[in-house]
Amino acid sequence: MTISAASGRVLATLNEDGSRRWIRPKPASGKWLIRRRAVAYALMAFYLAFPHLRWNGKPWMLLDLPQREFTFFGTTFLPTDTLLLMLLFVSVLIFIFLLTALFGRVWCGWACPQTVWMEFVFRPIERLVEGGVGASRTLDREKRHFAPRRLLKHAIYAVLAVILGNTFLAYFVGTDALLTWVTQSPLQHPTPFLVMAVVTLAVFLDFAWFREQTCLVACPYGRWQSALLDRQSVIVAYDSARGEPRGHGVGARPGLGDCVACNACVNTCPTGIDIRDGLQMECIHCTQCADACDDIMVKVGKPTGLIRYSSQDALAGRPPRFLRARTVLYPLAFTLFFGAFLVALATRSAADVTLLGPIGAPFTREGEGQVVNQVRLRIANRTGDAHRYTIAYIDEPGAQLIAPENPVLVAAGATITTSVFVVQGADRFVGGERRVRFRLSDGGEYSREFSWRLPGPSEAAAAAGSVP
């Protein structure tokens, strides 16, 4: 974090007396804005459409937390896929490390939803409704937080927050459930409604009040960057060798650098910093200062690029070095983890079966010394077709398997829980338990054996010698 000696400010969003300093950046047009805007609009459309897209009848992305099932691009990961998810998560993390080592905070400036929605939707609405940056700053200065224009802006923000909050929820509950809920009274589904209301409120507060502080004080990624960047990483940087000593009247006063101290770069910065102070944690590498400065350079007849994409080494006159420890080790680690993920995914079983104990009593007794055990089977069909799964004993003479539904039909990609009942004599239990083996098969490629311990009457231990 930079402590500006000139201002005594320790945080860009705080005044010296500790009150909030509202950042109202002046828009800066230029080549980077055009590119960022195109990327931002594409990402916004993607975010809104993504939960509605289907792949093999499944959503492209569904994070079903109650069921602990995660679907990405039509592939569902179950709770038993922890290893797969861990490999995928580590791969993504390493990829982010690599991306940051190569291109700095390109994610923050170009693709993070916070930046995309804030800079390309919420701030433009603010400027439009409040009458421009100057008018917003006047409202701040005069503390007119309830001025009609500001209230209108907040009303529009609230509508947007509802849309974004509902879209966010769709990633977790799916669009079918969401469409049902939005057409019903909240009283019919109070819990999801409460979740939606909390998410909407969080979105509203984030974009209306917390804003750039999400990047400055809440987001952990900003704090990582000092460890993830090296002197060869691409950053948005001020060329101090060319710009300093800065001063007004360039050309008129020999000895001055190209920076005319116009402060356009500071006025446009959405995090309120001065890039001329050097690389700072608060800089999200959004390139707005580069566009603003290019505009000034054109006006004063100097070459553009005083603020540009560069690296700390390049600015110091050192040659680029593509091969360095992190650009070698990160790709190696990524290949290792992502390769393991792909192999594990390709060799994953066609069904995921979990045996569960009974609901209620561990076993029940029936007439003539018979013991009944309930065994529940949770069968997840991972394939794209419906399958019928047959449950059978393996070598269990004298025991009877009662399955209300056998074979069990499981639709493509669905998960069901069914029960079977094992009936056998009490004398077959040793030490209060007996281990049995099942086979589950779909008559095709899938066939798997399971061993399961059935609890039974402990008095049978006395008859252990008579049990086969």
Assess 296 for contact with ligand SF4 (CB under 6 A). Answer: yes
Assess 269 for contact with ligand SF4 (CB under 6 A). Answer: yes
Assess 283 for contact with ligand SF4 (CB under 6 A). Answer: yes
Assess 263 for contact with ligand SF4 (CB under 6 A). Answer: yes
> Residue count at the site for ligand SF4 (CB under 6 A)?
30
Assess 264 for contact with ligand SF4 (CB under 6 A). Answer: yes
Assess 288 for contact with ligand SF4 (CB under 6 A). Answer: yes
Q: How far is the CB of 218 from ligand SF4 (least distance, A)?
A: 16
Assess 260 for contact with ligand SF4 (CB under 6 A). Answer: yes
Q: How far is the CB of 240 from ligand SF4 (least distance, A)?
A: 9
Q: How far is the CB of 300 from ligand SF4 (least distance, A)?
A: 8
Q: Pick from 261, 392, 401, 467: which binds ligand SF4 (CB under 6 A)?
A: 261
Assess 408 for contact with ligand SF4 (CB under 6 A). Answer: no
Q: How far is the CB of 283 from ligand SF4 (least distance, A)?
A: 3
Q: How far is the CB of 259 from ligand SF4 (least distance, A)?
A: 3
Tell me, letter by letter, the H, E, C secondary structure of the chain: CCCCCCCCCCCCCECCCCCECCCCCCCCCCHHHHHHHHHHHHHHHHHHHHHHCEECCEECEEEECCCCEEEECCEEECHHHHHHHHHHHHHHHHHHHHHHHHHCCHHHHHHCHHHHHHHHHHHHHHHHHHCCHHHHHHHHHCCCCCCHHHHHHHHHHHHHHHHHHHHHHHHHHCHHHHHHHHCCCHHHCHHHHHHHHHHHHHHHHHHHHHCCHHHHHHCHHHHHHHHHCCCCCCEEEECHHHHCCCCCCCCCCCCCCCCCCCCHHHHCCCCCCCHHHCCCCCCCCCCHHHHHHHHHHHHCCCCCCCEEEECHHHHCCCCCCCCCHHHHHHHHHHHHHHHHHHHHHHCCCCEEEEEECCCCCCCEEECCCEEEEEEEEEEEECCCCCEEEEEEECCCCCCEEECCCCCEEECCCCEEEEEEEEEEEHHHCECCEEEEEEEEECCCCCEEEEEEEEECCHHHHHHHHHCC
Q: How far is the CB of 230 from ligand SF4 (least distance, A)?
A: 18
Q: Pick from 62, 170, 236, 420: which binds ligand SF4 (CB under 6 A)?
A: 236
Assess 33 for contact with ligand SF4 (CB under 6 A). Answer: no
Assess 307 for contact with ligand SF4 (CB under 6 A). Answer: yes
Of 6-14, 163-171, 258-266, 368-376, which part binds ligand SF4 (CB under 6 A)?
258-266
269 versus 351: smaller Cβ distance to ligand SF4: 269
Assess 265 for contact with ligand SF4 (CB under 6 A). Answer: yes
117 versus 363: smaller Cβ distance to ligand SF4: 117
In the complex, the residues that contact ligand SF4 under the rule CB under 6 A are 236, 238, 243, 246, 259-265, 268-271, 273, 275-276, 283-289, 292-293, 296, 306-307
